[in-house]
Structure 1
Amino acid sequence: MKHLSIFAIILFLLASCSAPEQVEISLVPYPAHLERGNGQFTLNANTQLLIQDQGEFSEEISFFQSMMQQAIGQKLSETAGENIIEIRKTEAPENPESYQLSIKADKIILQAGNAEGVFYGMISLRQLLPESMESGEVSEEINLPALEIKDQPEYEWRAMHLDVSRHFFSMDYLRRYVDLLSLYKLNKLHLHLTDDQGWRIEIKEYPELTELGGWRTFNSQDSICIDKSKEDPRFALEPKHIEMRDGTPYYGGFYTQDELREFVSYAQSKHVEIIPEIDMPGHMMAAIAIYPELACNGEAAWGDLFSTPLCPVNEEVYTFVENVLTEVMDIFPSKYIHIGADEVEKKTWEESAEAQKFMKENEMQSVDELQSYFVNRVSNFLQENGKEVVVWDDAMAGGIDPNLKVMYWRNWVGAVPDKAALNGNEVILAPGDPFYFSTPNSKLFDIYNKPLLGSKFPEELRYKIKGLQACLWTETIPSEALADAMLFPNVLALAERAWSTDSAQDWNSFKTRLKNQLPRLDQLGVKYEYNPTTKLIPFMHVDTDEQQIGITLESEISQPTIYYTTDGSQPTSESNLYEGEFYVKGSATIVAAVFQDGKITEPILTKQVDYHQAIGKPVQYQKSWNKSYPAGDAGSMTDGYRGGESYNDGIWQGFTSDFDVTIDMEKETTLNSFSATFMQAAGPGVFMPDYLEVSISADGENFEPILRIENDIPASEKKKVFKDFTGSLEGKQGRYIKVFAPNVQKGFLFVDELVIN
């Protein structure tokens, strides 16, 4: 036995020496299909580059050789070597961005039918190379794991946005931005070039737009940044964008047409399409301040909500717009031009005799139709010049041409994608929650996981979803360092969601791969901010067969240790260890937390779950829900699901009328208790009801009021708050339960479940 044990040890050691350690594949975005192989490919100066591209991939080959120069210190030779990297052109596939990558011990084959595909295959190879190459560290020899990849993107439109109007960013930063987008296979940069606060693109027909409109004395947004910079220097205005004029500081800058053409060409080499936005008819104060005749009232000013817009019935406006867009089209070869059409202050149109006369002559019933007239006229001009037009979803108010691309951003206005797709428009999903990275509450989990379409979106119209985009608005982001912190690592979550198939997306895997990407970002000098919270995110599964509720807990950190209780007590390391979905029957108060080094961490999750008597019972609505917030339609109040922190999570049901429903218990029932949770978020107009009243009936006609609960949350409360309207039903008998809550503030009421026991 002793000799056998020694022999076994020798075999084990030999096997260990012959089998290289498995390298973790941390590609972001994750490929559609990836299969691990055995062995590894050794990349060094003796590796041969074999090109079979029919002369079509010259720019990509140049990029690849520069990548080799960074990695191993020299370009690959095309003469015979120890092993081979072959770049091969295939027949053009249906998806021009698809590629195949095969890594074996003696050969790497990268094949694609188009330049885009071969470039993205090279990007996957780059992510397999040591991150130290990004800062100039050369390796004599690099081992690459054997694998097979077949890959293509899920969406055509995979975009980031950058607002350079509110605060200006150098051309160097824009080029670096493009580099980082291409590293994660994002293919479009939506450049917001003009707004009220600054005009950033040279227009030769109107030089004053940049001479005057490109500069400003410090405004309120600058003041906010300056104040915040006292505690965080990243909020400081960058000196390179400030000029002193007669002792007064002016902030600004602009891009010349030559600079933009060079930038567009650079982005094209990285397969990033630059899409310009000239926002109109609103957000035009920088231009109207110079040419006040472009406004109906002849002045650049602020209305009740937004700035004075262009005057849609003034022919001089269209001369101006077409002259500007002609130069824009000459600079940007993109087939897309974004014209904004969002947040238009229409009060000046209502007050303009000329506008009212025009509306009457053209049988227009509202100023929304006047906006549609403007959008359609400008769009027709662009379409006649071979461009496709993109607008923000606000443009839909007065009707919209089905040929326009609609960028959905107002996530609080439900069913926008549904309406646009039904109208024939292609839709770009850019909802502010979770895709506005400029907001500090943008959460990595939500970026990766949050549903972007309502449950009622027609499945047969999925093909109308053109892609995904996230935005960086810069009202309070004045520096490159702060922009980096807001963008990364959020960009990686967006990239995977836009590229990878649903089956290839895995949150737990992504968290691990993300951590492995951070050293590369470090080497690239990205000033990212990654502070994953230990906050737990609960999900529910209502099991009506077993009459129980399953609970799943998610977290932003990798492989968290979680303990929980179901009786409302604070968990300890002796409590239930979370190992996956668990179930509770009846009512339970779940309290859970992440533990680190054996100690509980904040915040501690408390979640009420109730498998109550009314689950699955029919509900009659005396007043219907607001169509923008249907949740699960008529079953929402008795489906067992409790909402989270956001009223647009698909569980909270919204009402702009009084809340007035009747539950049919389907038989005479002993009624002991009632509870309903409402939300208040005064900023977007979500308020508590004045009170809630519960009445019961045996026949559905004669009701006896039995419970009234007064609201004690003032409408002036600005913080988001939740209130449980809870009380006893005194053990009375009844079949029908009527619940009434008046909408006194005339805003929104949001409620998630009516709990009856």
Structure 2
Amino acid sequence: MEINSTFDIQLESFALKYLAFFAAAFLGLASCNTPEPIEISLVPYPSSLETGTDRFNLSSSTQLIIDDQGDFSEEIAFFQSMMQQAIGQKLSDKSGENIIEIRKTESSENPEAYHLKITANKMTLEAGAAEGLFYGLMTLRQLLPTGMESGEVSNDIALPELEIYDQPQYGWRAMHLDVSRHFFSMDYLRRYVDLLSLYKLNKLHLHLTDDQGWRIEIKKYPELTEQGAWRTYNEQDSICIEKSKEDPRFALEPKHIEMRDGTPYYGGYYTQEELKEFVSYAQTKHVEIVPEIDMPGHMMAAIAIYPELACNGEAAWGDLFSTPLCPVNEEVYTFVENVLTEVMDIFPSKYIHIGADEVEKKTWEESAAAQKFMKENGMQNVNELQSYFVNRVSAFLQENGKEVVVWDDAMAGGIDANLNVMYWRNWVAGVPDKAVQNGNEVILAPGDPFYFSTPNSKLFDIYNKPLLGSKFPKELTYKIKGIQACLWTETIPSEALADAMLFPNVLALAERAWSPESAQDWNSFKTRLINQLPRLDLLGVKYAYNPTTKLIPFMNVDTDLQQIGITLESEISEPTIYFTTDGTQPTTDSNLYEGEFFVKGSAEIVAAVFQDGQPTEPILRKQVDYHKAIGKSVEYHKPWNKSYPAGDAGSMTDGYRGGESYNDGIWQGFTNDLDVTVDMGEKTILNSISATFMQAAGPGVFMPEYLEVAVSNDGETFETILRIDNDIPVSEKEKVVKEFKGSLAGKEARYVKVVAPNVQRGFIFVDELVIN
């Protein structure tokens, strides 16, 4: 093993990054004749930002000039309310010491675009549409003192000289809230909208119905809320109650509990008038409320009241999910269309989400009427029956001028190209590829990392994790409509806990959705995020910001110099990292990490973030091998699973080692046995081999039964020289990574055949065949 010294290059790179960062973060140069620099900590970061050294002094004597053709009245009112908060009064049009001009320009192609220019004597904010002007105001709000959020008035505010041209990367920038599993007050929804708009998110996907509760008043079916909005405590409530003994944020909120004859009933619902008022309020913040009425599954709250809506006349649980609506019953379509007609009357949104996820189809298989209908209509399976339901309901909504959104599960039996597909099942790789090739537009909402309700949701992944596979057709990128994160509330019963799960994750999502990739910088974001926290404090957000000192390694295989570069990332800002390459525990006398470093041969990297001179947990251990098989061809006797191709044929000899997730684009997945032959190109002395596999029993990922290695010089006659049996039981529920490693005893051969039987018939995942 060898470390290449790149200190001089790294120092130069570090210096350039240092200067670039502070040029962007601070304005002007501090001297005895200039004021202290003003920090620029905008989230999301603008498309284009240039800074100067001067100041604009905002005060009550600043003149306001408006040239908006009367189109920005609501936004001007909002601006004046900001001035009232910041300097204690609204601005007038009387001549003053300096000027703020708000004007409408010719509409750009993007109505959300704006231009903000601040000089010593004048601030100009212009946009072609109200949306763009509003987002410009959100940028200005973040430039104003944080104290304004709590009513702290400043008589004179120095604003930095700058010029911003800005517009979003995606048109769909959304957060979601599940109000069915646990109910949230209308006050909380309004505050949610306020916070989304502050960070330029423009849609709130409201999950209004599910098995556990029906939250929207439907006047034609009043029982849906009279009965369906309330429940006695269910299993999810019991889990929350138990957890609340240690963490009060898990307690059910008393305002959503009613006592009936001594029995507590939990729930609530929104009247149509409340929802209409809420929609109007959100419109003033340019947030579109997208309602979801989940169907044909997740409908038990309705079926419990109207059992005739199910094929078997029961509201019950099947093998996996709840009893769905019966797609061959005409009464079902009458019910659905009546409900959706009232939904459309409440929500002017261009979009209606109809779910179509996690449908338990067993009752359809057992229904004589359903089987008869399928036979008469040439349907081969119940997936096609689901598609019939989805397409019929979608047609009704489209006839009424709406676009339809479905979860990606709906694709199983085929769907029309004009539906919007929301991709959430990140373990089913290739879904976005298939959707865009079918003509559908896609909203990226993969559960990992965009389900904020799970502990797997990490700030680094939210900001950085690739959302599309390496095989996604680049020419169809325009069909990616945008991105969204979700908050499912099975075990999130309180507003305080919801805040903690949402923030500051929402800020990482917002920057990723708005800023162009060229403006996204993880290190810069970490610093700007910290500067946003005081504003969230004053806005009453009960966020949970506990950045981990865990290190995240990245590899760069250099086949020209036969070395591997290692880069270490962290969630904390400006960490101090020491590392070793021989497997020993690092100390402050070890290598100080200053950027990418390189190793040749094999190395066991051990690294840690140091605080107060001591290493912090967890300690990173990463095996890195520039081995003899890197770049060698691999013949696959059985194919990999097309959903998990990694690097295709070369993925097991490319030098890259997988991380914690099997869908990171490095682990290669097989539903067959692993059965490959590596051609070393010439007779080679073989000393050792190792292959690393992963087990995650929950989603069906298991270890192979054993690893067997055979060698040959002609590629036809092989001699088996090694077998390593698996010792990880199928019953192991925790994720396990195991290295199958053994000696090849100095054998000389050209071909190395590796077999690993997939006896569980689930998935097996392998990252690299390391041959030395």
**TM-score for the superposition, normalised by structure 1:** 0.98
Q: How far apart, CA to CA, are the structure 2 residues paired with 1:100 and 1:712?
A: 62
Query: Does structure 1 retain, via aligned residues, the 8 Å contact 2:41–2:531?
Result: yes
Quote the residue 2:388 is aligned against.
373
Amino acid at match of 2:203: K
Pair 1:385-2:404 in alignment: no
| Deviation for aligned residue 1:21 | 2.0
Among 321, 342, 346, the residue aligned to 1:327: 342
Query: Does structure 1 retain, via aligned residues, the 8 Å contact 2:30–2:36?
Result: no
Q: How far apart, CA to CA, are the structure 1 residues paired with 2:116 and 2:52?
A: 12
Amino acid at match of 1:262: E
Counterpart of 2:209 in 1: which secondary structure?
A: strand
Superposed, 1:669-684 pairs within 5 Å as 669-684=684-699
Q: How far apart, CA to CA, are the structure 2 residues paired with 1:343 and 1:657?
A: 26
| Deviation for aligned residue 1:17 | 3.5
Q: How far apart, CA to CA, are the structure 1 residues paired with 2:388 and 2:209?
A: 22
Query: Does structure 2 retain, via aligned residues, the 8 Å contact 1:671–1:733?
Result: yes
Query: Does structure 2 retain, via aligned residues, the 8 Å contact 1:292–1:300?
Result: yes
Quote the residue 1:81 is aligned against.
96
Pair 1:582-2:597 in alignment: yes
Q: How far apart, CA to CA, are the structure 2 residues paired with 1:748 and 1:199?
A: 38
Quote the residue 2:145 is aligned against.
130
Q: How far apart, CA to CA, are the structure 1 residues paired with 2:154 and 2:282?
A: 28
Amino acid at match of 2:568: L
Quote the residue 2:268 is aligned against.
253
Q: How far apart, CA to CA, are the structure 2 residues paired with 1:141 and 1:217?
A: 56
Superposed, 1:92-107 pairs within 5 Å as 92-107=107-122
Pair 1:744-2:759 in alignment: yes
| Deviation for aligned residue 1:440 | 1.5
Q: How far apart, CA to CA, are the structure 2 residues paired with 1:656 and 1:211?
A: 49
Give aligned pairs, total. 744
Structure 1 unmatched ranges of 5 or more = 1-13
Counterpart of 2:443 in 1: which secondary structure?
A: strand
Quote the residue 2:86 is aligned against.
71
Pair 1:226-2:241 in alignment: yes
Counterpart of 1:18 in 2: which secondary structure?
A: coil
Query: Does structure 2 retain, via aligned residues, the 8 Å contact 1:620–1:634?
Result: yes
Deviations 1:708-738 (A, max 9, x none): 0011110100111111000000100111111
| Deviation for aligned residue 1:15 | 8.2
Pair 1:291-2:306 in alignment: yes
Pair 1:704-2:719 in alignment: yes
Query: Does structure 1 retain, via aligned residues, the 8 Å contact 2:705–2:759?
Result: yes
RMSD in angstroms over aligned alpha carbons?
Answer: 0.7
Quote the residue 1:5 is aligned against.
none
Deviations 1:495-533 (A, max 9, x none): 000000000000000000000000000000100000000
| Deviation for aligned residue 1:309 | 0.2
| Deviation for aligned residue 1:18 | 2.6
Query: Does structure 1 retain, via aligned residues, the 8 Å contact 2:503–2:544?
Result: yes
Superposed, 1:108-257 pairs within 5 Å as 108-257=123-272
Amino acid at match of 1:36: T
Q: How far apart, CA to CA, are the structure 1 residues paired with 2:155 and 2:107?
A: 36
Amino acid at match of 1:507: W
Q: Relative to structure 1, is the Cα distance of residues 15 and 406 closer, same or farther in structure 2, using a 3 angstrom cutoff?
A: closer
Deviations 1:234-262 (A, max 9, x none): 00000000000000000000000000000
Q: How far apart, CA to CA, are the structure 1 residues paired with 2:370 and 2:666?
A: 43
Query: Does structure 1 retain, via aligned residues, the 8 Å contact 2:178–2:488?
Result: yes
Counterpart of 1:520 in 2: which secondary structure?
A: helix
Q: How far apart, CA to CA, are the structure 1 residues paired with 2:672 and 2:209?
A: 39
Quote the residue 1:6 is aligned against.
none
Q: How far apart, CA to CA, are the structure 1 residues paired with 2:362 and 2:682?
A: 55
Q: How far apart, CA to CA, are the structure 2 residues paired with 1:101 and 1:523?
A: 26
Query: Does structure 1 retain, via aligned residues, the 8 Å contact 2:30–2:37?
Result: no
Question: Identity of aligned pairs, percent?
Answer: 84
Query: Does structure 2 retain, via aligned residues, the 8 Å contact 1:98–1:152?
Result: yes
| Deviation for aligned residue 1:38 | 2.0
Q: How far apart, CA to CA, are the structure 2 residues paired with 1:134 and 1:432?
A: 33
Pair 1:47-2:62 in alignment: yes
Pair 1:563-2:555 in alignment: no
Q: How far apart, CA to CA, are the structure 2 residues paired with 1:577 and 1:105?
A: 44
Q: How far apart, CA to CA, are the structure 1 residues paired with 2:140 and 2:395?
A: 44
Q: How far apart, CA to CA, are the structure 2 residues paired with 1:481 and 1:38?
A: 41
Query: Does structure 2 retain, via aligned residues, the 8 Å contact 1:20–1:39?
Result: no
Among 484, 492, 495, the residue aligned to 1:477: 492
Query: Does structure 1 retain, via aligned residues, the 8 Å contact 2:684–2:749?
Result: yes
Quote the residue 2:666 is aligned against.
651
Counterpart of 1:203 in 2: which secondary structure?
A: coil
Counterpart of 2:769 in 1: which secondary structure?
A: strand
Amino acid at match of 2:581: T
Structure 2 unmatched ranges of 5 or more = 1-28
Counterpart of 2:359 in 1: which secondary structure?
A: coil
Pair 1:271-2:286 in alignment: yes
Deviates more, 1:728-737 or 1:316-325: 728-737
Among 528, 540, 544, the residue aligned to 2:559: 544
| Deviation for aligned residue 1:477 | 0.1
Deviations 1:657-679 (A, max 9, x none): 11111111111111110000000
Q: How far apart, CA to CA, are the structure 2 residues paired with 1:407 and 1:731?
A: 53
Deviations 1:646-695 (A, max 9, x none): 00100000111111111111111111100000001111111101111000
Q: How far apart, CA to CA, are the structure 2 residues paired with 1:69 and 1:541?
A: 53
Quote the residue 1:725 is aligned against.
740
Counterpart of 1:16 in 2: which secondary structure?
A: coil
Deviations 1:393-433 (A, max 9, x none): 00000001000000000000000000000000000000000
Q: How far apart, CA to CA, are the structure 2 residues paired with 1:614 and 1:462?
A: 35
Among 680, 687, 692, the residue aligned to 1:665: 680
Counterpart of 2:635 in 1: which secondary structure?
A: strand
Quote the residue 2:641 is aligned against.
626
| Deviation for aligned residue 1:78 | 1.2
Among 703, 719, 738, the residue aligned to 1:688: 703
Among 394, 403, 421, the residue aligned to 2:436: 421
**TM-score for the superposition, normalised by structure 2:** 0.96
Quote the residue 2:360 is aligned against.
345
